[in-house]
Amino acid sequence: MDIQSRKRELFKEFAPRLETTSKVSKIYISFLVAIILVGIYAFYLQMSEGQIVTGMRDNVVWGIYEVNFILLVCISYSGAFISGILHFFHTPWKTAIARIVEIITVLSLLIGPIYILLCMGRLDRLHYLFMYPRIQSPITWDIIAIITDIVACFIYLYLTFIPDFAILRDHCEERKIPKWVKKLYKTLAIGYQDTKTQRDRLHKITRIMSTIVIVLAIVAYTVLAWIFSLTLQPGWNSTIFAPYFIVGGLFSGVAFIIVTMFLVRKFYKLEKYIRKMHFKVGGIILLILAMLYGYFTFTEYFSRWFSHKEIDTNLLDTLFTRYFWEFILANYVGILVPIGILFFKKFRTINWVTIASVIALVGIWINRYLIVIPTLETPYVPIQDTRVDYIFYAASWVEIALSFAGAAAFLLMFTLIGKIVPLVPMNYILDGRTPPKKVQKNINKEISE
Amino acid sequence: MKNKQTEEGGTDRRKFLKLGIMTSLTAIAGTSIVNNLAAQEEEGIAKPSGEVMRLLTPDGKIVEVDASNINNYPEAYITPEESRKGIPDRKFVMVIDLAKCKNARKCVEGCQKGHNLDYHQEFMQIKLIQDNPLAEPYWFPKNCMHCDEPPCVKVCPTGATYKREDNIVLVDNERCIGCKFCVTSCPYSARIFNWEHNAKFDDKSQPYSPETNVPGAIGTVTKCDFCPDLLRQGLLPHCAQSCPEGVIYFGDRNEDIVTNGAETVRFSELINKRAGYRHLEHLGTKPNVYYLPAVDKLYELEDGFDVNEEVKERYKNVPYVQELKKQGKI
Ligand code: SF4
Ligand code: SF4
């Protein structure tokens, strides 16, 4: 079988998903749209009434928007990091999951920064950031890092997509795919014909981009952590915050990828490509990261507790009383349970690894919450106020609605991308690194020819 | 249109500065104020309002003049651009004498009136602080410290908050994007945010100036500004003017003089002799507000609870207050 017919075969395999939309997925999509609409209404309220509709007040001026921002942006950075590594080292098992990782990277990088914008009191003055930039401010560094990262990730994602667009362009004619999509394939394939020179060149560029993306991710993580650690606040002003954020970010990123892998495998019927092996390897990586992350978390809190400066003690007191359960969930359950599960070989199955990942994700969200909010509730000068909402933070429905809207937007975009391109990169399958078993023979034959 | 206004403001300001140098805080000679006022009265600008203000003369004398004579400088409008420079050759400092404070809250009210603030918006806050379990708590008026190493200024991404040469840290609410990074960076919780629109913001009778913080704007940050508009007129800030106990001293480090309106003292001597300190010195923010420790207090702590119920409630979590309540003293 030559490579052309192989391409056709692959296309045939993935095409039905691109052609039709099942009833269930229509309902699912309208459900997501409904959540987003509620979010848009909440956004409208916040814009017209001001941030009084959120739970944020003086003292706790950043709420769950900031938490979502950290989580999503960290997931994105780790997506970039991981996919960069997958490419750079030609990891053999990258085939099936590379595209998923890349899509996660770009989507979370698109949605994440929206949350930081929601934190801003004057969105109408966003351009002041560029009109009157002050390079001393860590926010400016963060903006530069995020924008650079968005651009780099888009280029990177696009590069990895080109060969697939070419395949789609060449084979979509006989199918009843909407005209505009066909046109889209043609434009996006930018005349890629999969000749040897083209292929080599693309490989080279992708490889260079993958290193750039890794470096950018590290820079971006660091700058994000500095937003907190460069202030004087208890619980934030920590020298290990940058590496702590990198490890925590990778941890959440890997967990997120595993959960997505699970869902994609199930709902897109890709069992053939996303296999137990992926979850096994993912589980081991998650285990290592969980231990590292647990280690960082422990050092961070232990040194604060042991030296017990008064201001740190106030913070820890709040964590151990008011936030007792959250603290247990984030830093014991969220770390030790995944370690406990993944430590045993027999638990490294698809379901168990996914369960461990879900626990890890919930844990790390709460961990971020415990980094942002209790610190703001225990300032140097004691809060002496009678207004409860000014003393303790509680997210309002507007913030919660917008958080869910972000998740819905993520799922919706993921689904739509899955409608336009196959979620498993066809060109990698053709590259023959780990083709499904039945194809392997053919490819080997092709190579020997 | 807007340009024209600014231009006019510019020329007016030159006129005003001449006045300002003559009348500004410590350089004024008693006669010069009187002369100015006399000149104004001749022109028939001022009508007595009955409100009396206290001004400081270099030899430490206080003269009382009618408020309407001083406040109505139409040329006192300082544009946001001009407000970045600061008053030449001044280094403003504040000294708060904790031994004399009895939580009368007049500074809070004076400030709120002067800055058009609502009941709960306090540039000046009165905290009840207990340094250690054995010491009795004391009232602690706290505004912005106008730090020499201000963390808030360092982190502002747009330069909406800035440090001036005369020590003052201001916020320009026309430049502020409301990111609130400065709020999280300030270790003194000095900054407040305008969470919602307020009818007062619509009152445009007075053009906006960072020197007055009026009118406010939704979604921006605001805070104590050391009242540069009053300083330019040779007046004390609202808080210092309104304190009946003379707790708040204000002055110029260059001249080494501070005054609370009733007495004028050498700043360095006061700090030196009375063990003046700065709050959270160890953070390295180098505040320009100094405190004189609460030793030999003039008033009983309980006297400070002679305020409205809401304010009383604020301190209910301080263990000492709970103790006092148990004993039925408040
Ligand atoms: S007290 Fe706070 S707001 Fe004022 S100058 Fe210092 S850091 Fe800035
Ligand atoms: S809230 Fe305004 S003043 Fe504060 S850092 Fe942001 S832009 Fe600057």
Whether a cis peptide bond, with omega within 30° of 0, leads into B215 is yes
Q: Are the C-beta atoms of residues B156 and B182 closer than 8 Å to each other?
A: yes
Helix (H), strand (E) at residue B64: strand B62-66
* Full set of structural domains in chain B with CATH: 2-84 (no CATH), 92-292 (3.30.70.20)
- Is the predicted pLDDT of residue B258 greater than 50, yes or no? yes
| Nearest CA among A48, A42, A84, A87 for reference residue A64 | A42
Cα(B140)–Cα(B130) distance, rounded to whole angstroms?
10
- Is the predicted pLDDT of residue B30 greater than 90, yes or no? no
The residue-averaged pLDDT of B156-160 equals 96
Residues ≥6 apart with Cβ < 8 Å to B138 = B98, B101, B128, B129, B130, B294, B297, B301
B142 close to ligand 1 (CB < 6 Angstrom): no
Partner A contacted by B189 (CB < 8 A): yes
In this structure, which amino acid lies at residue A415? T
Q: Are the C-beta atoms of residues A88 and A207 closer than 8 Å to each other?
A: yes
Ligand 2 nearest atom to the CA of residue A121, by list position: 1
DSSP assignment of B38-52, as one string? HHHHHHT-----S-E
Helix (H), strand (E) at residue A98: helix A94-119
- With an 8 Å Cβ cutoff, are B218 and A126 in contact? no
Tell me the CATH number at A352. 1.20.1630.10
B223 close to ligand 1 (CB < 6 Angstrom): yes
Residue B137 DSSP class: P
Residue B139 backbone dihedrals phi, psi, to 5 degrees: -75, 140
Partner A contacted by B224 (CB < 8 A): no
- Is the predicted pLDDT of residue B46 greater than 50, yes or no? no
Give the percent of chain B with pLDDT over 70. Answer: 77
B125 chain-A contacts, CB cut-off 8 A: 384
Could you list the beta-strand ranges (E) of A183-327: none
Task: Using DSSP bridges, classify how beta strands B289-292 and B92-97 pair: parallel, antiparallel or unpaired.
Answer: parallel
CA B214 to chain centroid: 14
Residue A383 DSSP class: P
B185 chain-A contacts, CB cut-off 8 A: 231-233
| End-to-end CA separation in angstroms for chain A | 11
Q: What integer pLDDT is reported at residue B63 of this predicted model?
A: 67
Q: Are the C-beta atoms of residues A153 and A213 closer than 8 Å to each other?
A: yes
Chain B residues 103-162 with a CB less than 8 Å from chain A? 120, 125, 127-129, 142, 151, 154-160
Cα(B241)–Cα(A357) distance, rounded to whole angstroms?
62
| Nearest CA among B95, B62, B84 for reference residue B293 | B95
Q: Are the C-beta atoms of residues B121 and B112 closer than 8 Å to each other?
A: yes
Can you give the pLDDT of all 449 residues of chain A as single tens digits? 567 787 888 887 777 677 777 888 899 999 999 999 999 999 999 999 999 999 999 999 999 999 999 999 999 989 988 888 888 777 666 777 888 998 999 999 999 999 999 999 999 999 999 999 999 999 999 999 999 999 999 998 899 888 888 888 888 877 777 888 888 888 998 889 888 899 899 989 988 998 999 899 999 999 999 999 999 999 999 999 999 999 999 999 999 999 999 999 998 888 888 889 889 999 999 999 999 999 999 999 999 999 989 999 999 999 999 999 999 999 999 999 999 999 999 999 999 999 999 999 999 999 999 999 999 999 999 999 999 999 999 999 999 999 999 999 999 999 998 888 888 888 777 765 444 444 444 444 444 43
DSSP assignment of B85-114, as one string? T--TT--EEEEEEGGG-----HHHHHHHHH
Helix (H), strand (E) at residue B289: strand B289-292
Q: Are the C-beta atoms of residues A383 and A284 closer than 8 Å to each other?
A: no
For residue A406, give its domain range: 3-448
Residue B71 DSSP class: H
Domain count across chain A: 1
By residue count, chain A amounts to: 449
- Is the predicted pLDDT of residue B300 greater than 80, yes or no? yes
Partner B contacted by A46 (CB < 8 A): no
Q: Are the C-beta atoms of residues B329 and B302 closer than 8 Å to each other?
A: yes
For the stretch B108-126, pLDDT in tens is 999 999 999 999 999 999 9
Residue B125, strand partner residues:
B142
Respond yes or no on whether ipTM tops 0.90: no
Task: Using DSSP bridges, classify how beta strands B161-163 and B138-142 pair: parallel, antiparallel or unpaired.
Answer: unpaired
Q: Are the C-beta atoms of residues A420 and A184 closer than 8 Å to each other?
A: yes
- With an 8 Å Cβ cutoff, are B317 and A384 in contact? yes
- With an 8 Å Cβ cutoff, are A58 and B151 in contact? no
Q: Are the C-beta atoms of residues A279 and A258 closer than 8 Å to each other?
A: yes
Q: How many CB atoms lie within 10 A of CB B45?
A: 14
Task: Using DSSP bridges, classify how beta strands B125-129 and B138-142 pair: parallel, antiparallel or unpaired.
Answer: antiparallel
- With an 8 Å Cβ cutoff, are A137 and B193 in contact? no
For the stretch B66-112, pLDDT in tens is 655 554 444 568 999 999 999 999 999 999 999 999 999 999 999 99
